[in-house]
Every structure is written in C-alpha cells, then in structure tokens.
Amino acid sequence: RENNRSGTYTCTFQMSLRVWIAAGVACSLASLATAFLPPSLSCRAGTSTFPSLTVNRKALAAPLTATKKEKTAWDAEEQYEVLPEDTFILRPDVKDYAKLTEEEMAATESVGSTAPDQSHTTFVPNSHPFAHARLLNVVCRVADLEKTVKFYEALGMINLREKVTPEYSASVMGFGSEEYGQNVALQFVQDSSPVSLGDGYGGTTFLVPDVQKAVAKATDAGGKELKAVATVEFPATQVPDQDAQEVNTEVKAVVTDPDGYKVTFIQGESKDVLSSVTLRVFDTEKAVAFYNKLGMKVLKKRANVPAETSISTWVGYDDDHIYTMGFVHEKLKQPQFHMMRVPATALLLNYEYDSQPVKTGNSLAQIVVGTNKGVKTALDSIAAEGAKVLKEVSTEDGQDVAAVADMDGYTLTLVDMEEFNAQLA
C-alpha cells in the first residue's frame, strides 16, 4: 500500500502476543549508557532494540488497502512514527513492485532502488559489509564552543548533549533524534589544537523556507554574509538523467559561522533541514568509487557551469532497510515499536576545475559512519580495497571504533550501529 503523503509502503503481519510481550520485557530490562568518543562520537537518549524485520519484496507486489489507524501513524509530525502492534512499515524507493523484472525480483535480499529513473543506483546486497550503514555525525573543531552553539541554535538546531573533560569540550547539535541514524548530527569540539580550516571542508547546506530570514538569523547570531541571496540557474542533472534543456533554479545564499565554516541556505522544505555536507575532492571518479565501497550511492550529479566552475556529486545511504526499536509503554504496560526514518542528508563531493590536491587542515575532525555488520568486518573490507587505515579496531567507552582515510585525506570513523544506539543516554 502506498501512502501518498510520505511515499511509504505498508504491509501487515500477525505475531504471537507472547513474542511481543517477551521482546518488550527484554527491552525494558536493558541498561543504557553514555559515551563520547573524543573528539568524535557523542550520543542522546535511546533504548535497547527490537530485531529488524526483513520483508520480501514479492509480498508487496499485490495492491493493499490502507486503514485509517495505520495512516494516522504517518500523519503525525514526529521524528519517528509509532506503529500499530500488527503493522510493519517499509520505505523503499521502488515505486511499483509489480513492474519489477524477474532478475530484479531475485534481488529481494538487496538494498537500493530498482526504479527506472534510478538506474544509476547499484544494489548493495545484504552480505555487503556496509549494507544498511548510516551517516551519523560530522565532527568539526571550533575555537569557541559557546559561540558556535549559540549560532547553530539560532538556525533551529538543538543542543542534544554536551561534555566537558580536561582535554576537550563537545556539543552535539541536530534537528532531531539520532537513534539508528535517523537524523545526521553536527558535533563541535573545542580542544587545545588551533583550528586550521584548510581548503577541503566546504561546510553544510540547510534547506529553509525563507533564505532571507535564515541569513538574518545567522548574521544576528555572529555569522557573516559571504554571498547575498540570489536566484541561481544550474543546468540539467546527469543523475538523475534530466533532459539536456532542463534548467534547475535555486534561491540560495552563503554565510560563515563564527569559525569561518560555510553554511549555504537553499530555499526549500524537507524533514531533513541539514541537506548535505560538502567535501572538495581532487578526483571525482576515485572519490565516488571509495564511497561506493562504503555502501553509499550516487544520489545526484551535475556540472554547475556556468553558475559555478565545478562538478557536484551527492552520495549517501538511500535504502529501504528499516531499523526498529521496541519498548514497554510506561503507563499502558504494553510493547510498542518505533520505526527509524532514513535520513536524506548526503555528502556533496565537489570537484573544482583546475584545482590542486586537497589540504584538509584539522577543521573537519571526522565523519562518523555506523555499520550494521560489525566494525572489524567493515574495516577489513575497506582495507582490502586499498583504503588507508588510520586506526585499527579498538574499544572506547564500550564501543568498537576504527578509522580510515578517503582518497583526499578526510577521516571516517567506523562504529557499530547497535552499539551506537545502545550508548544513547
């Protein structure tokens, strides 16, 4: 069944009440922990997990009928939806299962889109070490944490958590819950290291309903206007494949935060206000190949000439796998289940014509990726593909952690998704 408002598919199933109750009781007895990975990962409230369910796509080929009760779960304006006891909701990009070929049907245990207009997307099989991975945190160094927090709060972000140690102070800012990566967060760290911006990290992009108002809020909070509000025309995208004569118009502006990080505002509305995080790359092909190995897919690509002398490629996690979380309702004493939405936030790999190799500086400390197959499995896989290992698997604050560098020297920290969620407190 397709819900027109959210683009979701829903199927129902029946399970023994004893199974639901047992799962709920087990979840309620699980302990919670708190952790920061200096200077990387830090986490917010969460609970223990209910096992994720796999739905065979063939079962969704037949038309289904929505009920008012089930539709209500999607109508609530929340970061995640409460599911009826007998309902499991799937969010794929496949628009019409009935039109899948036999070959595509055979890939029911795969992640990714098979929609005709998404032919650029490659299946990531469940056996892949980065299947169902998620982009979790983007970590930046700042000179004055208090000023940074006030700036991003003015843009609507929430200070989800903070920590102060003799070595560093950290705050995690976001637009909503991070359980299972359903919202990508920005973590700002102030330590003894002076901030060196380099020329690689290109900052963040926010989708806002009114660019002019967003710029005013940013400048009032200590930001500086870098590019005034303007309507910019971009050519047709290569991915998805648009007609060559197509013109894409954006109303946008650029400001800098108190540390000089760029914040781009583009007029639009989305549940994911944090639209993308920009990384300048020296070789687009090699960069895309690297992130493909991390299970990310090319979501969008375009040459920006004549508006800008660059080529932009958006990569990210865009699959139909749903993480679920179960718990016993405090008052009703009944098990309930939450579905974790798949965020649309992407990494924007930007190639500038006639540019030199990237000098990363130390401003972008790391990008945190949550894996679903274990950190060692993920690290071994990417290392076998030639990635530079910066840190072997170790345990920090109860979590397995490892780190690699991409082709341009950006650091990616790998953590286990289940451990990440268990650490939320």
Please state the domain count of the chain.
Answer: 1
Nearest CA to 158 among 66, 259, 273, 237?
273
Average pLDDT of the chain, as a whole number? 76
Domain presence at residue 30: no
pLDDT tens readout for residues 241-263 = 998 889 999 999 999 999 999 99
Q: What is d(CA 376, CA 186) in angstroms, rounded to the nearest whole number? A: 25
Give the pLDDT confidence score for residue 423 in this predicted structure. Answer: 84
Average pLDDT in the 5-16 region? 35
Average pLDDT in the 96-105 region? 44
Q: Which of 74-83, 275-284, 316-325 has the highest mean pLDDT?
A: 275-284
Q: What is d(CA 277, CA 48) in angstroms, rounded to the nearest whole number? A: 29
Which residue pairs from 157-165 have beta carbons closer than 8 angstroms and sit at least 24 positions apart in sequence? 157/186, 160/44, 160/185, 161/42, 161/43, 161/44, 163/36, 163/42, 165/38
Average pLDDT in the 270-281 region? 96
Q: Which residues, in sequence order, are CB contacts of 332 under 8 Å at separation 6+?
A: none
Give the pLDDT confidence score for residue 425 in this predicted structure. Answer: 58
Q: Where are the alpha helices (DSSP H) in 91-155?
A: 102-105, 145-154
pLDDT tens readout for residues 47-87 = 222 223 233 222 223 222 333 333 333 333 333 334 333 33
Angle at 264 between CA 76 and CA 262, to 5 degrees: 125
Domain at 138, CATH number: 3.10.180.10
Its domain, for residue 261, covers: 128-424
Domain presence at residue 185: yes
Q: What is d(CA 51, CA 19) in angstroms, rounded to the nearest whole number? A: 12
Domain presence at residue 329: yes
Domain presence at residue 17: no
DSSP percent split of the chain into helix, strand, coil, nearest 5: 20, 35, 45
pLDDT value at 211 more than 50: yes
Domain presence at residue 200: yes
Q: Which of helix, strand or coil describes residue 284?
A: helix
In this structure, what token pair is assigned to residue 10?
Answer: 């829903």
Nearest CA to 152 among 209, 221, 207?
221
Average pLDDT in the 181-200 region? 93
Give the pLDDT confidence score for residue 49 in this predicted structure. Answer: 28
Q: What is d(CA 352, CA 346) in angstroms, rounded to the nearest whole number? A: 19
Q: Which of 28-37, 81-90, 138-147, 334-343 has the highest mean pLDDT?
A: 138-147
Per the model's pLDDT, the better-predicted residue between 323 and 229 turns out to be 229
Give the pLDDT confidence score for residue 327 in this predicted structure. Answer: 65
pLDDT value at 99 more than 70: no
Domain presence at residue 20: no
Domain presence at residue 355: yes
Q: What is d(CA 139, CA 403) in angstroms, rounded to the nearest whole number? A: 13
Give the pLDDT confidence score for residue 328 in this predicted structure. Answer: 67
Per the model's pLDDT, the better-predicted residue between 332 and 180 turns out to be 180
Per the model's pLDDT, the better-predicted residue between 401 and 53 turns out to be 401
pLDDT value at 271 more than 70: yes
Q: What is the DSSP letter of 42?
A: B
Domain presence at residue 109: no
pLDDT value at 13 more than 90: no
